Structure 1
Amino acid sequence: MKNIFLAFAIFLFATSLTSCVVLSPKKYKALLGTKDSLYTAFNEGLIKIENLEDEVKKLKKDTTLLGEDLRDMQSRFSDVNANYNKLKNNSSTEISKLSGDLAAREKRLKEVEEVLRKRDEATNQLKEKLQQALLGFTKSGLTVEIKNGKVYVSLMDKLLFPSGSIIIDENGKKALAQLAKVLKEQPEINIAVEGHTDNQKVNNLGQIKDNWDLSVLRSTSVVRYLTEIEKVESVRMTATGKGEFQPLGANSSAEGRSKNRRIEIVLSPKLDELYNLIK
């Protein structure tokens, strides 16, 4: 492009020289001025061309860099978009799973609540039946109450045993016979017989060494009577001795010691259904 511009300028100058055979000094000076102007314009044009070529190179370089940046951004956008879609799908799956788990837990909770409701209802009904069956023995130291979802039938030792004995007397047998009638009508009830004593030292009771022995042997006497005589299922029965270590009253008074010497028959509904629900 530079060469074309130069040739064009020379052509114009040569034409101007050959257009007249004889030139006056004035015209000659004018032609020289024109020539100088042409060279000046030519040099300025060359500078502009060089500047434009540099600008073109810079623009091409910038365009290349912008293209690379654009491709890089497109690649990053594709990765981000892919990750977003993956997270979105995973989140939807997790939400669906959590919703399903929550619904299942709510269902199990309702089932557990229903079992507990039935247990409480059955416990209250059992208490009422026992209170009616054993009404005649309440003045002799028999009580029926509910604690922690279980029915506690508490019989003071004087209702069942002579002093210091492990042999059930006739009045005690009558009370246990009435109790057995209700228990045999409630096969879903587990039965635990607990013997309790005061803290007075045991003396002159043969093989009975201490209050542990006395509480255990009185408990097993009740269990044997209920199972062997009244025919309550043995598999439902448990005999334990608590000794003097779960008192109801203060052992410092005769009244407190009397409360502590007792047999507690603890009746609890079988909770197999509940245990299966909470596994």
Structure 2
Amino acid sequence: MKKRLLIAPAMGMVIYLSSCVPANKLTAEQNKNKDLQAQLDAAKMGNQDCQTKLAELQSKYDKDEKDVAGLKQDSTISGVSYRDLTTKYDKLNQLNEELLDRYNALLKGNEENTQKISGQLQMTQDQLLQKQDQLTTLQAQLDREKMHLDSVSAMLKDREARVSQLEGILKQKDAAADSLRNAIQAALTGIPSGISVYTKNGKVYVSMSEKLLFPSGSITVEPGGISALHQLSKALESNPDIGIMVEGHTDDVHMNGKGEIKDNWDLSVMRATSIVKIILEDAKIDPHRLMASGVSQYDPIDPGTTPEARQKNRRTDIILTPKINEILKILNNQ
């Protein structure tokens, strides 16, 4: 299981700033960290709820399709029975007419034969009445099944429309993520190396290497890294609906620092905090959109222990998340 620690900017800088920052500013930074943590937790819960409700909707859709297929099969069987009874009714009616003719012909004949024919005629008439009742009952059943089938079909069409609407919004979300990725890549043109931009799970990841941003073991951003972050922040200005999370990563080489950086947790969080401050200093971005976090060594790109693997893992990911309010609104109306 991957371990994650979300620490707000003020928490990561407590030791460094304890000697020069007033207590009220420190308290404000801590409160801001709590607010950002709550926003992240709410976003995660919203995303999980979105996926769960979408799965429930698909399950209901599949069940309704099976119900409709069953109703269609029952309706077909009832229709065959109805036609079979109609044929039998016609044959009995024809037989009745024949018996009536025979009855009239023999009316003046043998009384015994007359009574026999009369009994047969009465039996035939009773059978006709019975078949007529069966036909009436079957017709009523067919009418009820047709009404139910129409109702289920209408409900199924409505759910198909909702699924189609959700799929459309998800496609728009993916398209927006692709468009944002392209815009970020264009904004970062000219940076020689140490940066990659890609999409994953509907989010845009801007991954920057330690070599581009920091000296080894330091939380001070290099001039080249500052320039790249300023270019990125300008692109983020024009996308106010995008959430921004800065996530620091280290390798698995343990630190035993005695100063403000005690271990890899401190290093990952403080680096994320440094980057957040640089993004905010040169752009008109609402600070509420940003969150700084650190995961130490516990989310590696490469699980190996070679120098190359560790170099890949020493990075900072800037994760850009589009809003999902439209999707949640549709799911809540189900």
TM over 0.5: yes
Superposed, 1:58-207 pairs within 5 Å as: 78=133, 84-139=138-193, 141-207=194-260
Q: 8 Å contact 1:164–1:205 — kept in the other structure?
A: no
CA distance in structure 1 between the aligned counterparts of 2:279 and 2:136, rounded to whole angstroms: 75
- State which structure, 1 or 2, has the greater radius of gyration over its C-alpha atoms: 1
Structure 1: runs of 5 or more not aligned: 1-54
**Cα displacement string for residues 87-109 of structure 1 (whole angstroms, at most 9, x for unaligned residues):** 33332222112111121122222
Q: 8 Å contact 1:161–1:167 — kept in the other structure?
A: yes
Q: 8 Å contact 2:257–2:263 — kept in the other structure?
A: no
Amino acid at match of 2:179: Q
Q: How many angstroms does 1:81 deviate by?
A: 5.8
Corresponding residue for residue 305 of structure 2:
252
Corresponding residue for residue 265 of structure 2:
212
RCO (CA 8 Å, sep 6+): is it higher in 1 or 2?
2
Most deviating of 130-139 and 225-234: 225-234
**Cα displacement string for residues 75-134 of structure 1 (whole angstroms, at most 9, x for unaligned residues):** 8975x6675455333322221121111211222222222212222222222112111211
Alignment TM-score, normalising by the size of structure 2? 0.57
Q: Identity of aligned pairs, percent?
A: 38
Structure 2: runs of 5 or more not aligned: 1-111
Amino acid at match of 2:224: N
CA distance in structure 1 between the aligned counterparts of 2:316 and 2:142, rounded to whole angstroms: 65
Q: How many angstroms does 1:251 deviate by?
A: 4.2
Alignment TM-score, normalising by the size of structure 1? 0.67
Aligned length in residues: 222
**Cα displacement string for residues 18-51 of structure 1 (whole angstroms, at most 9, x for unaligned residues):** xxxxxxxxxxxxxxxxxxxxxxxxxxxxxxxxxx
RMSD: 3.1
CA distance in structure 2 between the aligned counterparts of 1:157 and 1:128, rounded to whole angstroms: 23
Q: Which runs of 4+ in 1 moved over 6 A?
A: 70-77
CA distance in structure 2 between the aligned counterparts of 1:91 and 1:258, rounded to whole angstroms: 68
Amino acid at match of 1:224: K
Q: Residues 241 and 82 of structure 1: is their aligned pair in 2 closer, same or farther, counting only changes over 3 Å?
A: farther
CA distance in structure 1 between the aligned counterparts of 2:164 and 2:305, rounded to whole angstroms: 49
